[in-house]
Amino acid sequence: MLGASIMPQIAQKKLYTAESTHQTVLPAPINQEAVKEQIKSLCKKRNAVILAHYYQDELIQDIAHFIGDSLELSRKAAATNAEVIVFCGVHFMAETAKILSPDKKVVIPDVNAGCSLSNECPEEDFRKFCEKHPDHFVISYINCSAAVKAQSDLICTSSNAVELVKQVPKEMPILFAPDKNLGRWVERQTGRKMTLWPGSCMVHETFNEEAILKLKINHPEADVIAHPECTEVLLQYADFIGSTSKLLSYSQSSSSEEFIVLTEPGIIYQMQKNNPLKTFIPVPGIDGCNCNICPYMRLNTLEKVLQSLISLSPEISLNEQIRLKALSPINKMLSLSA
Ligand code: 13P
Ligand code: SF4
């Protein structure tokens, strides 16, 4: 019954072909304001909180109760009093929320919202890799599955990786997975050599040197700000490197008026909102394609958020043994990072 007044508006969005075989009818625009209102009232009824990552669509960022980077979202998920968490991000993030808050219902608007880093690090292959390095301290970037987290000694995010690696005793060899680009950047920041799993983010790997050079020529005064998932070649051009929220706060504190943004452009929405007089320039993907936009993150839509609140699905569920094993390195991260 709850859904009866809501569903017709979603139905309007379906692509359909006109009876005349020559004519394709474009989807009728959904009434976004009405959908937003329905989301708001359902959140109250369900005692639900919407957590969103900066790479989400602007419409989702607008309805979220909290927007953050992976570390901040984990902290929020652990602390919330809500009974339902609608996680607008990718699967590993929603899974982390469930690991931290097992008694809460955690739903993700689109269950196919995965992550190339997580996909490239299958549980069994990772187990074999760790077995080859039995004396290593295993640090996994949060962008991995619960099963990989369960095999790790410590979890990190891009905002605390350097700080955490520095805390590992010098004589202890480190295995770092699954992002080799983040791993190399951490190596340069800490002077620690690590054994790296060879994974990478499909979005950050699409940026190329030529595009940055062109932007730098056209905007010589601009600061280049980059996420550490970018390749080493590109990071050489960066004036500042950090997680999404660190990039956001740098864009506020820097006296620069122009920024070339080397990460998924979803973050620019908040940058622009917080700094209306500054200019933010996204770096295009190769050949100007849309591949600088994370295809996984953008599977979530406003309509799917509404649908997930109506049906309280797709729900994240986890094997309790894996959850408990994954919880320990996450808790360690939360207690060790500032
Ligand atoms: P942040 O932790 O910096 O938000 O990064 C998450 C992510 O997936 C970047 O691609
Ligand atoms: Fe994963 Fe890259 Fe998308 Fe982040 S941007 S969620 S690392 S695929």
What's the CA-to-centroid distance between 234 and ligand 1, angstroms? 17
Q: 5 burial class (0-12, 13-18, 19+ CB within 10 angstroms)?
A: exposed
Which residues belong to CATH 3.40.50.10800 in the chain? 7-113+297-311, 117-202, 204-288
User: Which ligand has the shortest distance to the CA of 90?
Assistant: 2
User: Which ligand has the shortest distance to the CA of 200?
Assistant: 2
Alpha-carbon gap, residue 49 to 66, rounded angstroms: 8
- List CB contacts of 262: < 8 A, sequence separation 6 or more: 204, 207, 212, 224, 225, 226, 227, 230, 234, 237, 238, 283
Is the CB of residue 294 below 6 angstroms from any atom belonging to ligand 2?
A: yes
Number of other residues whose CB lies within 10 A of the CB of residue 286? 13
Give the pLDDT confidence score for residue 20 in this predicted structure: 34
**Helical ranges in 51-179 per DSSP H:** 58-63, 70-79, 91-100, 116-119, 123-132, 146-149, 161-166
β-sheet with 105-107: strand ranges across: 66-68, 48-53, 84-88, 105-107
Torsion angle of C-alpha atoms 75, 311, 317, 114, degrees rounded to 10: -70
Instruction: Compute CA 20 distance to the chain's CA centroid, rounded to the nearest angstrom.
Output: 43
DSSP 170-230: TTS-EEEESBHHHHHHHHHHH---EEE--B--TTGGG--HHHHHHHHHH-TTPEEEE-TTS
Q: 14 burial class (0-12, 13-18, 19+ CB within 10 angstroms)?
A: exposed
Which helix H or strand E contains 309, and what residues bound it?
helix 302-311
Is the CB of residue 115 below 6 angstroms from any atom belonging to ligand 2?
A: yes
Give the pLDDT confidence score for residue 289 in this predicted structure: 76
Give the pLDDT confidence score for residue 16 in this predicted structure: 28
CA-wise closest residue to 186 among 159, 225, 215, 224? 159
Assign a CATH topology to domain 204-288: Rossmann fold (3.40.50)
250-282 as b/e, with b when 16 or more CB fall inside 10 Å? bbeeeebeebbbbbbbbbbbbbeeebeebebbb
Altogether, the residues listed in the chain come to a count of 338
Q: Whose alpha carbon is nearest atom 2 of ligand 1?
A: 70
CATH 3.40.50.1000 fits 7-113+297-311, yes or no: no
pLDDT digits (tens, 9 = 90+) for 153-187: 999 999 999 999 999 999 999 999 999 999 999 99
Is the CB of residue 230 below 6 angstroms from any atom belonging to ligand 2?
A: no
| Nearest atom within ligand 2 for CA of residue 92 | 6
pLDDT digits (tens, 9 = 90+) for 237-259: 999 999 999 999 999 999 999 99
Give the pLDDT confidence score for residue 187 in this predicted structure: 98
Alpha-carbon gap, residue 271 to 242, rounded angstroms: 14
- List CB contacts of 285: < 8 A, sequence separation 6 or more: 206, 207, 291, 292
| Nearest atom within ligand 2 for CA of residue 264 | 5
Q: Please give the radius of gyration of the chain, using alpha carbons only, rounded to the nearest integer.
A: 21
- What are the phi and psi torsion angles at 286 (to 5°)? -55, 135
Alpha-carbon gap, residue 149 to 22, rounded angstroms: 52
Give the pLDDT confidence score for residue 1 in this predicted structure: 33
The dihedral built from the CA positions of residue 242, 247, 253 and 254, taken in this order, carries a sign that is positive
Joined tokens for residue 158: 């891009």
| Nearest atom within ligand 2 for CA of residue 116 | 8
Which helix H or strand E contains 24, and what residues bound it?
strand 24-25
Q: Among 110, 118, 264, say which to mutate for ligand 2: greatest number of ligand atoms within 8 Å of CB.
A: 264
Torsion angle of C-alpha atoms 176, 182, 187, 190, degrees rounded to 10: -100
Q: Among 88, 90, 283, say which to mutate for ligand 2: greatest number of ligand atoms within 8 Å of CB.
A: 90
- pLDDT per residue rounded down to tens, the chain (338 residues): 333 333 333 333 333 233 333 344 555 567 999 999 999 999 999 999 999 999 999 999 999 999 999 999 999 999 999 999 999 999 999 999 999 999 999 999 999 999 999 999 999 999 999 999 999 999 999 999 999 999 999 999 999 999 999 999 999 999 999 999 999 999 999 999 999 999 999 999 999 899 999 999 999 999 999 999 999 999 999 999 999 999 999 999 999 999 999 999 999 999 999 999 999 999 988 776 778 999 999 999 999 999 999 999 999 999 999 999 999 999 999 999 97
Residues in the ligand 1 pocket, defined by CB under 6 Å: 69-70, 143, 157-159, 201, 227, 229, 243-244
Is the CB of residue 201 below 6 angstroms from any atom belonging to ligand 2?
A: yes
User: Which ligand has the shortest distance to the CA of 201?
Assistant: 2
In CATH, the number for domain 117-202 is 3.40.50.10800
CA-wise closest residue to 142 among 71, 201, 87? 71
Adjacent-strand bridge partners of 49: 85
Joined tokens for residue 142: 């949060």
CA-wise closest residue to 85 among 34, 113, 40, 43? 43
